Amino acid sequence: MRRESALNNGPAGVSGVTPDGEPSTSTAEGVARRSAVAEEQAFLDLATAQRDRVVDHLQAELSSDALDALEQARQRMLRRQYEELRRAQEGLVFGRLDDLDGTVRHVGRVGLRTDGEDSEPLLLDWRAPAARPFYTATAVDPQGQARRRHIRTRDSVVVGVDDEPLDGTVTGELVGEGALLAALDQRRTGHMSTAISTLQREQDDIIRAEATGPLIVQGGPGTGKTVVALHRVAYLLFAHQRMADQAVLVLGPSPRFLQYIAQVLPALGETAVVSATCDTLLPEIRVGRDESRLVAEIKGRALWQLALENYVTSLLPRPRELTLRWEGESYVIAAESVTQALASAVEGRSYHRARAAFAEQLHHLLAEAVVEHREALMDEMEEGFEDILARVDRDMQQDHHSSRKPAGSDIDGLLSEEEVEHLRDRIAENATIARFVEAWWPTLDAEALLGGFLTDRTLLTRFAPQLSPEQITAVSAEPPQWASSDIPLLDALADLLGEVDAPHPQGEFVADRARRQRGWVYGHVVIDEAQELSEMQWHMVLRRCPSRSITAVGDIDQAEAAHRHTSWAEAVRAAFGDRWTAAELTICYRTPREVMDLTAPVLKKAGSHNAPPRAVRSSGITPWELTITPAELAGTAAQAVRQLRQRWSGGTVGVIAPADRITELVAVLGDVPVLTATQSKGLEWDATLVVDPHRIAAEPRGWNGLYVALTRCTQELGQLILTR
């Protein structure tokens, strides 16, 4: 009963806000509300003043003359603290826990102490273990808490509080129901905001889960997958300094999606983060064309990993006797020595690293050959000219003008260790020897090599025998520019080849260095809309995080990519086998019940075996449909969008349509986003207009796409049905 009344009539408890956001003032309850708001305002003022003092102190320390003397690690730590506190003005304090023993602790975006590192906390960081009961305590399991209070602020003013007794008198289903529903009812802005004040228990469990292996999180529309993924990044960077030192990679499905979430992590004070799509992971490589779903599916298969490995192995030089020229003489390196050097160089190394290791060994072998040749010449000379050498030796010893005692090659023609080392250095720097190595073991360019491989039917038949002749024809006939499915292949080949000269990116922030280096190893990788990744894209992720500290969130029922996976086990088997952990988000917070009620038959037609998530809120607005002819589309769509924008003034409206209707609608709808179902993935608006849903369903994996399209709104859904 309490949940229903909260959903329909506003939050229960000490909510204390009127429709315009100001504290209520009537009756005894109003007095209690004003008192609670005043109490929290006093604390917010105290915390804000302390935050300002710490920010000023850090700014002074970072700008002082002593900055150069600070070690780099300390500089990074101070700058991280400064950025985190500087951005924490909005929503600095949002919660309070009252223990059963009377202790009161406030929870906020950052941690603050009253005076010094050893003093008592003034404000608990939401990521700290002591703050966890704020997200997980219930009346059934109060975890030592008597009450939880959610504090709502606007700028630096407390505008309302919501109290939840945890003594068993109230058994609400949601944590901070009033604050949560108030946040969900706010207008969308086109950018995701933080949700640290309204996280729910099942979300918090995933955010704080161990990061020792792949964690795959299944969650339907509106369950907060993206919120969980981003707040997990913030939590892990707080809890594990190693990850901050190595940076965290956040992979999203599209540039529009990355723009949508761009403010969340900076707002949480996180800078050790690189955001990208799979298409933008390779520095200076860009997708230049679209491709057919057929070819995308073929190129996404895991078979390419082994095919490329075998192809690169075939490019290694075959051991044989080598003849090199040095200072006018020819020197023969025996095939047996070359074989041993080649085997030693190749083991566990990329193509170019193996080449460098072999070149170093070849320099040693040539130096040894030169020394042996010189020693042999001296032996021959000694056999014929022993008497002459003896006389010369006596004459040199008797020469009173000589003050230097002969040594090494000065007497017997043998080279000293220093001279042999100098000889090796000269050989290593010699251009003729370098040209010989380049000719026998050439430097390779990944782009040129992959381009040649993919267009050569003979090579494809040899190294990818799993492909049919028709599939080989489809792959080899592709245009020269890179398509999306080529990027993982190019990444795999670049990794197998390795760097010729490994770069050392410079930059103050670790994210700047990581962003510019293809082979950077991240402390953790977070993937949103992970159901869209192909097997080769999963391999691309794994190369960037060999520790397998990976969090992937998505909805397998929203998969629209060309691959054929219909379960997470199928999707990740090629990369992880069965060594991964599953988690699930089951509650839909964003999408209203009225819309979610439409999704069960759509899911069934999509072939799903999952139940849709359970919606916990109602918008009170019944989804509507309007049947029109194609000729009426432009005018009707423009009118419908105009009315939606009026109804949701201050919020956002989005239009989702089949791919072949996008151009027509963009021309008449102006600045309203008009996207395909795939492009809308992960986004949300107050109101959504879905155009021609039957045509969307007829597209490849169209029922999955329609499921996405229907679930993008937080308040109102309209559909324009086109007659055929």
Task: List residues forming the annotated binding site for ATP.
Answer: 219-226
Q: How many residues does the chain have?
A: 724
Q: Please name every residue paired with 674 in a beta bridge, in sequence order, or none if there are none.
A: 655
Which residues make beta-bridge pairs with 165?
Answer: 147
Two structure tokens written together for 29: 């309850």
Burial of 709 (0-12, 13-18, 19+ CB in 10 A): buried
Query: Which residues sit opposite 77 in a β-bridge?
Result: none
User: Tokens for 294?
Assistant: 């057929």
Cβ–Cβ < 8 Å for 621, 714: no
CB atoms within 10 A of CB 183: 16
Going 320 to 326 to 330 to 333, the CA torsion angle's sign is negative
Give how far Cα 6 sits from Cα of 13, 27, 161, 172, 592, Å: 10, 20, 15, 10, 15
Tell me which amino acid residue 92 is: L
Q: Which residues are paired to 523 by β-bridges?
A: none
Question: What's the distance, CA 32 to chain centroid?
Answer: 46
Q: Please say whether the beta carbons of 110 and 125 come within 8 A.
A: yes
Q: How many CB atoms sit inside 10 A of residue 638's CB?
A: 15
Contact (CB, 8 A) for 161 and 16: yes
SS3 category, 435? helix
321, 334 contact by CB (below 8 A): yes
**Structure tokens that stand for 413 in this block:** 């023609």
Q: How far apart are CA 381 and CA 226, in angstroms?
A: 81
Q: Tokens 């983060």 appear where? A: 273
Give the DSSP letter of residue 468: -
Q: Indicate the helix (H) or strand (E) that contains 359.
A: helix 351-384
Radius of gyration of the chain from its Cα atoms, rounded to whole angstroms: 34
Strands 104-108 and 145-154: unpaired
- Can you spell out the DSSP letters for 615-684? E----S---EEEEE-GGGHHHHHHHHHHHHHHHTTTS-EEEE--GGGHHHHHHHHTTS-EE-TTTTTT--
Tokens encoding 174: 């949601």
Alpha-helical runs (H) found in 10-71: 27-63
Contact predicate 208/126, CB 8 Å: no
Q: How far is 302 from 474, CA to CA, in rounded Å? A: 18
Distance, CA of 102 to CA of 669 (rounded, Å): 58
SS (HEC) of 210-231: CCCCCEEEEECCCCCHHHHHHH
Are 586 and 560 a contacting pair, CB within 8 Å?
no
Q: How far apart are CA 626 and CA 391, in angstroms?
A: 116
Tokens at 180, concatenated: 């949560």
The tokens for 23 are 């504290």
Residues making up the annotated binding site are: 219-226
Pairing of the two strands 614-615 and 587-588: parallel
